[in-house]
Amino acid sequence: MTQTMATLLLFLVVVIVVPVLGRCPPPANETDYQKFLRQHYNKCGMGTKDCPSVMSERCLSKPCKAKNSFIINATTKQIQDVCGKGGTPVGGDLRQSSSPFQVLTCKNKGSESPPCKFQGVKSSRYIVIACNAENYPVHFDESIIP
């Protein structure tokens, strides 16, 4: 391989492959409920120092979100129950949990452009979520300290 061909190949890798690898598209055919879980639920729990890696893995850091909350140390059934007997209506399709959940809120302390500088704060909070017609959570609206 000549020097010119090697240079051209390197150029193509940098121009074509690197930008594709850097993108973070959401999964294809993701339902609103699956998107809710990806953006706001962590079944393995999280520590306050996990925000940067989890936000990146979940495609929530391009551009850097100002803030994102994760429900931790709960099951999907417990969260889904807020859409039924485990929650009370608060207007429209929003429901507030009857019991508090552990919530980790990741806040960006840097700019909107990567690299993001997320810091986490963990607390026990009532969650307010929107539910669809099938009683699945589809939007995390807010959380309230008891």
Q: For residue 100, give both structure tokens.
A: 């508090």
Q: Phi and psi for 78 in degrees, rounded to 5?
A: -60, -40
Q: Is 139 a catalytic residue?
A: yes
Catalytic residue among 65, 107, 122, 139: 139
Residue-wise DSSP of the chain = --HHHHHHHHHHIIIIIHHHHH--PPPTT--HHHHHHHHHEETT---GGGHHHHHHHTT-BTTBPSEEEEEES--HHHHHHTTTTTEEEEETTEEEESS-EEEEEEEE-S-SSSSP-EEEEEEEEEEEEEE-TTS-EEEEEEEE--
Catalytic residue among 36, 37, 39, 40: 40
Task: Supply the residues annotated as catalytic.
Answer: 40, 139
